[in-house]
Amino acid sequence: MSFVTRVQKTFSELEYTGKKKQTRRDRFLADLEQLVPWAQVEAQVAPFYSDTTGKRGRPAIGLSRMLRMYVVQQCFGLSDEGTEDAVYDSQAIRGFIGIDLGRESAPDATTLLRFRRLLETHQLTRVLFETINQHLASRGLLLKEGTIVDATLIAAPPSVKNREGKRDPEMHQAKKGNQWHFGMKAHVGVDATSGLVHSVVGTAANVADVTQVDQLLHGAETYVSGDAGYTGAAKRPEHAERDVVWSIAARPSSYKHHGKDSVLYRVKRKVEYAKAQLRAKVEHPFQVIKVRFNHRKVRYRGLEKNTAQLFSLFGLANLVLAKRYLQRTAG
């Protein structure tokens, strides 16, 4: 590196470091640096990553760097190419990943693609999700007394203008209200106390919510809460031996016949309102992945890859939701 380049880079770094305003991106990345249990996650991925690097004579890119690049991709809703561009465009992202462009180039989109496929192949996104949850449980969260179940639709491209000339065969249509949606569903089980996700299942959009409840319960809860889409869950054979209180929302049609002026109707409305207040916590993780992480549409073809991504997204969403508690206990 030339002296001039080194001086220019030093001035650039000083200008960035000394700027008066800290952007939302700066604050968010600083929070991620503190919240993600990097050592635990790296320990789980390292045995698989070490076997796949450096085979073609190139120096292996550090696992820590690739994990941070992958986390940036998930939290900002970027493609592989978009993530590479963001590294070159943003000093904040380069600082988070640990890249000095004056000395080295950033990992390219193909390198990130290979790393993402490594995580998918060995189901390491689920490991990441479970490792984060173990970290949160060790800090006093995820109490496992009650579970709220829910599902959200995630759209898939309906266009047939692609190489195969057809829509993704693993995605399907489902009607919500008066609208049809094409894509998949993310089913989650959420801790009723903390509002954190402990179970994730990905299915096609036309799969009934009530059929997935068994996979969303961890088995230690004393009560289960859900909206009217879970009506009849308690009577299903897979729950015959389950000793829990089922708090499922009643359909309005089941008590409207009493008349809005009747005492029974008003009591039922108050009961349903109390149920809805408890269920509201399940919307928070959906808000994080769809609004903050910009995951309103599936990024890949097929349920397997998209479900793998959901584990990463909901694991990181749990950290965002638990931020205040974790920072308070750390202090």
Number of folded domains in the chain? 2
Domain span at residue 147? 143-330
CB 154 within 8 A of CB 168: no
17-21, 250-254, 286-290, 304-308: range with lowest mean pLDDT: 17-21
Give 102's pLDDT tier (boundaries 50, 70, 90).
confident
| pLDDT at residue 5 is higher than 90 | no
Average pLDDT value for the chain:
88
* Residue 135 covered by a domain: no
CB 156 within 8 A of CB 122: no
- Cβ neighbours, 10 Å, residue 182: 18
Give 52's pLDDT tier (boundaries 50, 70, 90).
very low
Instruction: Tell me the DSSP string of 181-209.
Output: EEEEEEEEEEETTT--EEEEEEEETTS-G
Residues 68 and 153 in one domain: no
CB neighbours of 240 closer than 8 A, spacing ≥ 6?
Answer: none
Q: Which of 72, 92, 122 is the last residue of a domain?
A: 122
Q: Report helix, strand or coil for 163.
A: coil
Question: What local confidence, expressed as pLDDT, does residue 6 receive?
Answer: 42
| pLDDT at residue 8 is higher than 60 | no
48-62, 115-129, 191-205, 273-287: range with lowest mean pLDDT: 48-62
Residues 199 and 107 in one domain: no
Residues 19 and 93 in one domain: yes
Residues 174 and 41 in one domain: no
The listed range with the strongest mean pLDDT (99-103, 264-268, 285-289) is 285-289
Could you read off the pLDDT of 88-97 as tens digits, one per residue? 999 999 999 9
Residues 116 and 211 in one domain: no
Could you read off the pLDDT of 305-328 as tens digits, one per residue? 999 999 999 999 999 999 988 776
Residues 192 and 300 in one domain: yes
What percentage of the chain reaches a pLDDT higher than 90? 68
Question: What local confidence, expressed as pLDDT, does residue 18 receive?
Answer: 59
Question: What local confidence, expressed as pLDDT, does residue 39 receive?
Answer: 96
CB 322 within 8 A of CB 194: yes
| pLDDT at residue 153 is higher than 50 | yes
Residues 48 and 159 in one domain: no
* Residue 134 covered by a domain: no
Give 329's pLDDT tier (boundaries 50, 70, 90).
low
Give 330's pLDDT tier (boundaries 50, 70, 90).
low
Mean pLDDT of 202-230: 95
Residues 190 and 65 in one domain: no
Could you read off the pLDDT of 25-42 as tens digits, one per residue? 999 999 999 999 999 999
Could you read off the pLDDT of 172-193 as tens digits, one per residue? 999 887 889 999 999 999 999 9
* Residue 193 covered by a domain: yes
* Residue 136 covered by a domain: no
Residues 55 and 96 in one domain: yes
Q: Which of 122, 154, 189 is the last residue of a domain?
A: 122
CB 293 within 8 A of CB 302: no
Q: Which of 54, 89, 122 is the last residue of a domain?
A: 122
Residues 171 and 114 in one domain: no
Could you read off the pLDDT of 62-85 as tens digits, one per residue? 999 999 999 999 999 999 999 999
| Of 104 and 127, more confident | 127
| pLDDT at residue 243 is higher than 70 | yes
* Residue 206 covered by a domain: yes
* Residue 249 covered by a domain: yes
Question: What local confidence, expressed as pLDDT, does residue 268 receive?
Answer: 84
* Residue 132 covered by a domain: no
| Of 84 and 101, more confident | 84
* Residue 128 covered by a domain: no
Residues 154 and 303 in one domain: yes
Residues 36 and 73 in one domain: yes
Q: Report helix, strand or coil for 124.
A: helix
Question: What local confidence, expressed as pLDDT, does residue 2 receive?
Answer: 41
- CA-to-CA separations, 186 to 82, 171, 231, 261, in angstroms, rounded: 24, 12, 19, 39
6-10, 41-45, 209-213: range with lowest mean pLDDT: 6-10
Question: What local confidence, expressed as pLDDT, does residue 175 receive?
Answer: 86
